[in-house]
Amino acid sequence: MFPARLAQASLIALLALGAASSAHAEKLELDRRLHLALNAALDRGGDDAVYFDASNPNRIFDRILIEGRSAERDWTEALELVTYVRDRALPDAAAWQRAFPAAGESACPASTTVLAQDDKSVTFAVEAPPCAVGPAFTGLYRVIYGKRTVYLAAGKRKAVMSPAQRAEWLALLASAHLEK
């Protein structure tokens, strides 16, 4: 169970790779209060509510279960927080977004649309209608470039998102920012 004071605070994604021990490490922060189902899921907690994988030294992956049975395998809706070591071949958030492997997100053919962009971040959607080999998929992503790290926050649903769900995810992603 998550502490009650966490319910009042903004969600802090503890995603600082190699520089985590540094006093100057960046952290990705999101205001979880902007997404009611996420807020309820975090308050509910549970053994299968969070999946964490740091087996790759170049990335840290967290998935927080919103709808489904398990954050690791059997989820319908989830928040994913991923931290990557910056790649010199991808100098900015726009280059990272263009290199994003959208085809790996769904078994069905997907389209990618940039929704917002500034000098440090890109927000984009990956959407796939249902097809013979899989369900519909909607993913809303925000890539934020830090000094040494790339942060990815993603709201994902293995279905078409309703306009209200989409608006809630986009508000949450818009709240994402880096803190020292």
| Domain span holding position 65 | 4-179
Structural domain total, the chain: 1
The predicted-structure confidence for 146-164, as pLDDT tens digits, reads as follows 988 999 999 999 999 999 9
Q: Residue 1: which pLDDT band, with cuts at 50, 70 and 90?
A: very low
Residue 17 near residue 158, CB atoms below 8 Å: no
CA 147/CA 152 separation, integer angstroms: 14
Determine the 3-state secondary structure of 168 from DSSP. Answer: helix
Give the pLDDT of residue 100.
87
Give the pLDDT of residue 152.
95
The predicted-structure confidence for 110-124, as pLDDT tens digits, reads as follows 999 999 999 999 999
Measured from the Cβ of residue 112, the count of other Cβ atoms closer than 10 Å reads 16
DSSP for 107-126, written as a single string = SS--EEEEEEE-SSEEEEEE
Give the pLDDT of residue 103.
76
Across 161-174, average pLDDT:
97
Q: What is the CATH number of the domain that holds 43?
A: 3.40.1000
